Structure 1
Amino acid sequence: MYLLLAGIGLLIWNYNRIGFVADMSWWWALSPFALAVAWWTWADMTGYTKRKEMEKMDQKKQDRIDKQRAALGIRTRKR
């Protein structure tokens, strides 16, 4: 996501010829988009994205369980 924001910023600056980006080649301004594609490809191929999603779901599940136990007055065990 940060690479996309950087790419959009560089494109706007390069298009409007603002600051140090005005003298840059368009290839440098477009490079964050290529890096974002490379990152997403790597993340999907290695399972990083799915693993992070599973961790988030497990945390939500544990939070729900802890909240219900606290409502019942049962202490949660610390692991």
Structure 2
Amino acid sequence: MAFLVVGLGLLILKWAGIEPVASLAWGWVLAPFALAALWWSWADWSGYTQRRAMRREEARKAAREAKARQRLRPGSPPR
């Protein structure tokens, strides 16, 4: 995501003609987009994206279980 933000920033600065970005070659301005594509390809290929999603789901599950345990304790207020 950071590569896209940097790429969009450089692209806007290039089109607006703001120096020193306006004097850069288009290859340098468009390079962050290529890096973002490479990152996403690697993340999907290596399973990084799926592992992150699984960790997020596990954290949600643990929070839900902790909340249910808290409600089952004696003396806890009913909801």
TM-score between both structures, scaled by the size of structure 2: 0.90
SS in 2 for 1:19: coil
5+ long unaligned stretches in structure 2: 75-79
Match of 1:77 in 2: none
CA distance in 2, matches of 1:16, 1:45: 37
Q: Residue type matched to 2:16 in 1?
A: N
Matches within 5 A, 1:9-28: 9-28=9-28
Matches within 5 A, 1:1-79: 1-73=1-73
Runs of 4+ with >6 A deviation: none
Identity %: 45
Deviation at 1:60, TM superposition (A): 0.1
Deviation at 1:20, TM superposition (A): 1.4
CA distance in 1, matches of 2:67, 2:21: 51
Give the number of aligned pairs: 74
Q: CA RMSD in A?
A: 1.0
